[in-house]
Structure 1
Amino acid sequence: MTDLAPFIAGLPKAELHLHIEGSLEPELMFELAQRNQVAIPYASVEEVRAAYAFSNLQDFLDIYYAGADVLRTRADFHDLAMAYFVRAAADGVIHAEIMFDPQTHTDRGIAFADVIEGLLSAMSMAEAELGLTSSLILSFLRHLSEEAAFATLEAAQPWIDRIAAVGLDSSEVGHPPEKFARVFAAARAQGLKITAHAGEEGPPEYVHQALDLLQTDRIDHGNRALEDPALVARLAAEGMTLTVCPLSNLKLCVVDDLVDHPLDRMLALGLKATVNSDDPAYFGGYVAENYRAVAEARGLTRNDLVTLARNSFTGSFLPPEAVAANLAKLEAYAAM
């Protein structure tokens, strides 16, 4: 694995499954809490890290939403995103499609404009200073109502041309994709791409619903699709991108050990899998660490890694000419 680590670090790649709120490192949480005079239930960075010993999605979400409370101003969202972009660029990321959860903030009284304008300013700076392009995915919180999702889509209208896609995240079990079919149809009618978390903790049926009812352009996670051979065949035939998150799967006990991770099995079955970090501050690693960890655990080859990176570009929501340019960078690197 020592030989592959430098190769992974320099491998041009896109990250397609990243929750920007989930990149809030404890150090920045403390800094923003002090800046905004927000009380947090932890006395030190070490206490925060100790609290990250969760073992399921809901326990993670509880601390995730508590941490997000320190995000109050446009500058906070800018600083949050820039901190991620700097880490991502160091990991070889040249394009990122970042999810944000406006309802997490607007429900606390934070203006939608402050959230999105802070993110957009960081995106512009990242492209200018780091050469890293990015797109926004507005994610609806599935534990909230369809009505709330429609209200969020309406609030986004002044910036709709700056948003690439809509997504669906938060507590999966008990909140099937069908709950949001109408709001996703409305978003699709506005020209937005569609993605959704499905088949992480939820059953294969949720993946079917995401495909059939939401008409997704890609699937976030999708691990449990492997339980349904007909579904696997369909995903492969349709070239549906899966945004797989190995360290997240380990932390949330989707797999008990990375040696059991199905990533290479997905590739062998013809699935268009990618590697992503999900919520890296909480799950123990940014995207290159996800590549390294799963490569070591599963014995992935250089060709496997190049395939995963290639899938990240062809599965992105970039226009064809940008995809082609990024693939050219990847192929040139792989040929060195």
Structure 2
Amino acid sequence: MIIYAAAVPATPTLAFDPGAAYDEVKRLRTALLYHDWPTLRQLLDAAEPGVRSHLVRFAADWGGIELSLHDQLARAPEDPHVPVLLAARLIAAGWRIRGRAMASYVDDDRFAEFHDHLRRAEQLLIDVTARHPDDVAAWTQRLLVARGLQLGQAEARRRYDRLARHLPHHLPAQSALLQQLCPKWGGGWELAHAFARECAEAAPPGAGNAVLVVEAHLEESMEAIDVVRRREHLRGPQVTAEIQAAAERSVSHEDFRHTYGWVAVRSTFAMAFHLMGEYRAARDQFEALGPYTDQAMFGYHGEWRAAFTRARDESYARGGRR
């Protein structure tokens, strides 16, 4: 008798484009590539406020559009979308100039150019939010400006509160404020964790907002100088319980849906579970992601694509079903 071994499912080839999972992002990028402004405006007009904020985020990473955006702004100064897109692009370019290093390692010239980009973006966004106070995308970008220009906790919270009047569970804005509340930006861990828990508990069951609890613990773990000590923080009983509860409220909940932002949410949980040694739980998230990826917080552990691949491969190898 011949016995055939069971086939092992192939591991999907990764798509390292964080926007690959979203059809609207593909249409957005095509419009940007061909400078098709009517299509771009139609796409942004049709998007819900929260989705529009995500689209602006993806557009910000598209280089080479600044001159065209300036031209469009001159042609249609009342257009609400073009100044937000231009501001987002300036902010993204500014943060790249600054780099990920601690402030003490950023030279004066880079800081000056970084701040110049942010100030120009702020002027555009001030005008937009004055004319359109419900523009969630503009307020989300203003949170990034507040952090970069070091405008302080009170101003960042004021901007978030203005946004939350119109969209109270907007995860990109909450994630931006969470960064502001971390000690590296003048906050404290008690503030950061309290805000993360507040957002998680206020959001509907199945929403992705509980990932903020994970983000806060991952950020705190980065205070450790090596990965071994980072793992120790995440494997503490209280932290483990909080992250597992966050998963049950979001990615493991029956109401969790693959709406905008789902790839980043699952990627963050996958990273946390991997570092915690919860390989089966990590594998569940990687399986749910399929070919899709997001930088999430993998960049803290080296080049993010390589870090993502290593974590996925180890989780598949060590997280087998029983």
Q: What is the TM-score normalised by the length of structure 1? A: 0.38
Give the number of the structure whose residues are more often strand, by fraction. Answer: 1
Give the number of the structure whose residues are more often helix, by fraction. Answer: 2
